Structure 1
Amino acid sequence: MTVSGSSVARGVAERVARESYGRLVAYLGGRLGDIASAEDALATAFLTALEKWPVDGVPDNPDAWLLTIARRRKLDDWRRDKVKAKSADHLALIAEELSTAAEMEEEIADRRLALMFACAHPGIDVSARTPLILQTVLGLTAADIGARFLVSPGAMGQRLVRAKARIRDEKIPFLVPEKEELSHRLPPVLASIYAAYTSGWMDLDGAEALGQEAIWLASVVVSLLPQEPEPKGLLALMLYTEARRSSRRGPDGAFVPLDSQDVGLWDRRQLRLAEGLLREANANGPTGRYQIEAAIQSAHVARRLSGISNWQAVVSLYDVLGRIAPSPVVTLNRCVALMRIGQVDAALDDIHALARDPRMADYLPYWTARAQICADLGRHVEAAEAFTIAIGLCWSEAERRHLEGQRSKILC
């Protein structure tokens, strides 16, 4: 034990929960064959940590400590249920393996990837595959996932419970499938990686761990399927945005939008990697969603670095994306691009049409875009109302201050 103090201990527990929860669930779930049981055991382990770490100090290896407590919880459960001796012996063997593997980061990482592909098993409902990966492997809550899919937390929670029960009851194996099967399970795996990345990207005040985790997972998938274009497109997309991370906050911590960022702070190595990956993806086969989204990010980077407007190209790319993967988010982003090329009426028509979608009522990017479009058109009352709603929905202190500043400008 190295550190004591309740506030420090709680801070470490919160950080481990953010950064390691998914990995620990993946490892335990893979060993036990039951995600829900793994989650219960880990919940007990985290509660125990909050009790013991302030008194005893934070362990040198918090992940291994939590795995040990979770393993003991499962052993206790099995003993209480008076399991047959053979099964008890088997669990004891698993416990020994867990203790050894607690020090093996790569082993846990492999289990995590295996669980991702297990969650994408064809026996699991299509609508639950990506959310299940996000919760069990990447540690997002049902509320977070529901927000990403524009679904209520309650409905998403029920969907996840049913999916976990399916894995347990049908004994779906926690294995990375054979290479010929990987491509069929790829879409929900890629969707979950991207959703995890965007969740971390939108959390301006949070740690960068989730974004780094998503990039690492995408790179592993690229190495598994080097001839598949979409994993490369996804990795390129994330690297384009990750390269700008350090420029999103000013010296005073204020949020800085893309068009105001200092391009000198951009990570040119990551941009070169992204460009190379996108070229390889485009050369490997048919164009998919992530390749188009990466191309959009490439266009934004090119515009800022060259100073030459290319908004018409961005609109054209959104047109293609709308045909490949139509969604309200694509329509919303296209509205912003339409404004930049002077198609004001078309942008406003699309924004008002989106207002009829009930999912937009609590969707922060919609109200931010609507506010900015109305402000650019001089419709200050409508812009102020939209900014007010956006401020109420915003969870980032830095972005909230930025929105308040934008609202103040139009009210002056």
Structure 2
Amino acid sequence: MLALLAAPTGDIASAEDALSDAFERALQRWPQDGVPGNAEAWILTVARNRLRDLWKSSAYRLTRPLPDDHDPVEASDEPAEIPDRRLELMLVCAHPAIAPDARTPLMLQTVLGVDAAAIAGAFAVAPATMAQRLVRAKKRVRDARIPFVLPERADLADRLPGVLEAVYGAYAIDWQSTPQGAVLDSLSTEALHLALILAELLPDEPEVLGLAALLSLCEARRDARHDADGRFVPLDAQDAARWDRAVIECGERMLTRAHGFSSPGRFQYEAAIQSAHCARPVDRAALRRLHRALVRIAPTLGAVVALAALDGEIDGPRAGLRSLDAIDDPAVTRFQPAWVTRAHLLSRAGRTDDAVRAYRRAIELTPQAEVASYLRRTLDGLT
């Protein structure tokens, strides 16, 4: 609905205000009048009427002139079904006219509804800085008159990486913050839905297929992340019988199709790593080869730490600690997975006191209560 409302003028901020006003009116009227048969069309119509009143105001016309081809009649149309225009909106947010550091945050907020504070935390910037960045980006969309349409194939190649990063970022934020049991209508479900739509729209883009496969394979294991008592269960200790095999098979089919294009990329390697984790017993040597390939093309801190952990499993804890110590990134001192890996390796190496200190630091950096409880239980086992 936001995409439909913003499309005529490119004014995302005004469309957000109009949509918020429509939801407020629904909350006021529906308890007395009942929910309309076509609730989405009702909300869209109220929001469009709100925008139409805004467009008629002299203040708006002086500060934000409408495009020459704007048809005010379109704003009064009442569709029988609301089309899914989120992908067009995402591609608008990935337009080259938008500052690179604002594209993914803008997509996360406008398309997937991620709170600005959560976005700021994910990008390690102050909330006020992120808020200003988002305001500037929305103004740029409006002033540049970026059309809400699917771009040509050549332009799509330039914008697609940003879209994939936004979908992946939304999934990662939700995976890290959603409480146990809060699955319905969660952000990760929306991110998976958008990834599958992308795969349907662009079936010949291997990285699109890789992202859809990656999210499918991760989401298939969500229920197994906690035991019957709600306690966190790490991947290697999960009950594979609780995994959703139909979703895993869907992910495997998309990964196989992506592999057929012989154009490997980051999301394909990450999907292949998750596929390897879905096989029992896990082939650690194959898993390390995949991680090494991933680090060559996308040396993220998470990928490098995961590779160090595998070095520790295969070559022994001291080798893993050497790999961990060799990471040349100051952010590693604030990276929770690095401290969990260090604590585990130190414990295996018999350095209990150092392991205790590492576990305590990992717990301090863990935002999920159930994961922190798991780490405390592990720490208690050492002391």
TM-score normalized with structure 1 length: 0.80
CA shift in 2, pair 1:87/1:387, >3 Å: same
Aligned length: 376
Instruction: Decide which of 303, 306, 318 is 1:330's aligned counterpart.
Output: 303
Q: Is residue 388 of structure 1 aligned with residue 360 of structure 2?
A: yes
User: Which SS does the other structure have where 2:342 is aligned?
Assistant: helix
Counterpart AA for 1:337:
L
| 2:73 paired with 1:93 | yes
Where does residue 203 of structure 2 map in the other structure? 226
Q: Distance in 2 between matches of 1:54 and 1:384?
A: 56
- Note if contact 1:200-1:208 (Cα within 8 Å) is conserved in structure 2: no
Instruction: Give 1:176-191 correspondences, 5 Å limit.
Output: 176-191=150-165
**Which deviates the most, 184-193 or 61-70?**
61-70
Task: Measure, in 2, the Cα distance between the counterparts of 1:145 and 1:183.
Answer: 25
Change (3 A) 1:94 1:401: farther
Q: CA deviation at 1:69?
A: 4.8
Shift of 1:178: 2.5
Deviations 1:228-249 (A, max 9, x none): 2111111111111122122112
Deviations 1:181-215 (A, max 9, x none): 32232111111111112222223413343222222
* 1:255 matches 2:235: no
> Which residue number in structure 2 is paired with residue 241 of structure 1?
218
The correspondence for 1:274, drawn from 248, 251, 269, is 251
- 1:211 corresponds in structure 2 to 188
User: Using the alignment, how far apart are the partners of 1:240 and 1:146 within structure 2?
Assistant: 27
Q: 1:170 to 1:82 in 2, by over 3 A?
A: closer
Paired with 1:59 and 1:83, the residues of 2 have a C-alpha distance of 32
Gaps of 5+ in 2: none
Kept in 1: contact 2:318–2:349 (CA 8 A): no
RMSD: 3.1
> Residue 202 of structure 1 is aligned with which of 162, 167, 176?
176
SS in 2 for 1:341: helix
Matching residue of 2:314? 341
Q: 1:40 to 1:263 in 2, by over 3 A?
A: same
Superposed CA offset, 1:13-37 (max 9, x none): xxxxxxxxxxx43332224411122
Q: Within 2, Cα distance between the matches of 1:93 and 1:401? A: 58
Higher mean C-alpha deviation, range 154-163 or range 53-62: 53-62
CA–CA separation in structure 2 for the residues paired with 1:156 and 1:349: 37
Distance 2:339 2:58 in 1: 53
Pairwise CA distance, 1:80: 4.5
User: Deviations 1:149-200 (Å, cap 9, x if unpaired)?
Assistant: 3444344333322222211111111111133432232111111111112222
The 8 Å contact of residues 225 and 232 in structure 2, kept in 1 or not, is answered as: yes
Shift of 1:342: 2.8
Q: Which residue of 2 aligns with 1:14?
A: none
| Structure 2 Cα separation of the partners of residues 315 and 365 of structure 1 | 17
Amino acid at match of 1:329: G
Structure 2 residue identity aligned to 1:130: T
SS in 1 for 2:315: coil
User: What amino acid is aligned across from residue 90 of structure 2 in structure 1?
Assistant: M
How far 1:90 sits from its partner (Å)?
6.0
Relative to structure 1, the CA distance from residue 262 to residue 73 in structure 2 (aligned partners, 3 Å threshold; closer, same or farther) is: same
Percentage identity across aligned positions?
Answer: 41
* Counterpart-to-counterpart distance in 2, 1:356 and 1:278: 31
Q: Distance in 1 between matches of 2:333 and 2:50?
A: 43
| 2:212 alignment partner, SS class | helix
State how far apart, in whole Å, the 2-side matches of 1:112 and 1:68 are. 18
Deviation, structure 1 residue 288: 0.5
Change (3 A) 1:149 1:46: same
Structure 1 contact 204–399 (Cα < 8 Å) conserved = no
Higher helix proportion: 1
Residue 405 of structure 1: aligned partner? 377
More divergent stretch after superposition (192-201 vs 388-397): 388-397
Q: Per the alignment, in what secondary structure is the counterpart of residue 7 of structure 2?
A: helix
3-state SS of 1:33 partner: coil
Distance change in 2, residues 1:179/1:277 (3 Å): same
Amino acid corresponding to residue 167 of structure 1 in structure 2: V
Are residues 1:117 and 2:91 paired?
Answer: yes
Matched with 2:286 is 313
Offset, 1:58: 7.7
Distance 1:154 1:319, change over 3 A: farther
TM (norm. structure 2) is: 0.85
Where 2:134 maps in the other structure, the secondary structure is helix
CA distance in 1, matches of 2:51, 2:332: 40
Higher alpha-carbon deviation: 141-150 or 55-64: 55-64
